Amino acid sequence: MSEQSSSFDLDSIANLARLELGETEKDSLRIDMEKIVAYVNVLSELDVEGVEPMAHAAALTNVVRNDRADASFPREAFISNAPETIDDELIKVPKVIDVGV
């Protein structure tokens, strides 16, 4: 793709992306972007009539279980496993942050 047929302004794109590019980097990036645009142009020539749009090439399904309410785990059962409790209601845990008080 020649510089004349290039449909992008590399300096504007670099500015929008907050990139500071040297001349060597600009030349390399321009070549890469021209290849990308050329490939997209090739893809735009494909006949996709009748092809259903999709988000992914593989057929994926959600494997998460249905969201439904079930019976809760008995509170007494997990409180009984705690090494120490407060009034048999709360699990006492060691202090992890020393606030210097």
pLDDT band at 70, cuts 50/70/90?
confident
Phi, psi (rounded to 5 degrees) for 90: -120, 150
Domain with 18, as residue range(s), is 10-44
What does the pLDDT look like over 3-54, one tens digit per residue?
444 567 888 999 999 999 999 999 999 999 999 999 999 988 999 899 888 8
Instruction: Answer yes or no: is 27 within a domain.
Output: yes
Count of domains forming the chain = 1
Do 10 and 26 touch, CB atoms closer than 8 A? Answer: yes
State the pTM of this model: 0.44
Instruction: Answer yes or no: is 19 within a domain.
Output: yes
Instruction: Answer yes or no: is 58 within a domain.
Output: no
What does the pLDDT look like over 71-84, one tens digit per residue?
888 888 888 888 99
pLDDT at 101: 63
